[in-house]
Amino acid sequence: MVMDPEPGGMPGPPHPSPLTHQAADGRPRMVDVAGKPETHRVARAEGRIRMAPRTVRALRENALPKGDPLRIAEIAGIQASKRTAELIPLCHPLGLTSVEVRLELDDATPGVRAEATVQVFGRTGVEMEALTAVSVALLTVYDMTKALDRGMQIEGIRLLEKAGGRSGAWTAPESSDDGVRT
């Protein structure tokens, strides 16, 4: 909140900014969630990394010298979700109650599909934590397979659904195979 000057230059009563992460004077701020009730909150996100079919084959055959990139990427995604507030300015640090990151080979892409589900009992949602988990998991796959395929593309990172809090539940519209929302 900022104080409106009254006649004589003295601060008047505070008024809220219409923007949640910006004060009326334009300065950044972290949203005050102290007055919000704690609720169970869940967010689920997804993304893909597109790669050459031979790279998918190498992953399927576990023929990479660095170990199993998919399992290591799942751990990286979990770790990243717990550090979201360190990476994304103005995110609240949260005591996450559950994080699950799953990576699966996807021959149709071809590539790997990542999905993360994050939960917390708190005053703010976990959408950013789910999106961060997916992003870092896919970056880890890239890092561990780049010797085979430097042309991989990370794409389609998006929130699939969220639940909890004042705004309640939200589900993303379905996407077609070409990535266009319907």
Residue 181 dihedral angles phi and psi, to the nearest 5°: -75, 145
Report if residue 72 sits inside a domain: yes
For residue 142, give both structure tokens.
């890239």
Question: Does the annotation mark 68 as catalytic?
Answer: no
Question: Strands 111-122 and 153-163: what pairing?
Answer: unpaired
Number of residues in the chain = 182
Report if residue 33 sits inside a domain: no
Rounded to whole angstroms, the Cα distance separating 125 from 39 reads 9
Single pTM value for the model: 0.83
Which listed residue (4, 32, 68, 143) is catalytic? Answer: 143
Q: What is the pLDDT of residue 6?
A: 44
- Residue-by-residue pLDDT tens, the chain, 182 positions: 444 444 444 444 444 556 677 777 888 888 888 888 899 999 999 999 999 999 999 999 998 888 899 999 999 999 999 999 999 999 999 999 999 999 999 999 999 999 999 999 999 999 999 999 999 999 999 999 999 999 999 999 999 999 998 889 999 998 655 554 44
Report if residue 30 sits inside a domain: no
Domain of 57 in residue numbering reads as 39-168
CA distances from 71 to 87, 101, 119 (A): 23, 9, 21
Report if residue 24 sits inside a domain: no
- Counting the structural domains of the chain, the total is 1
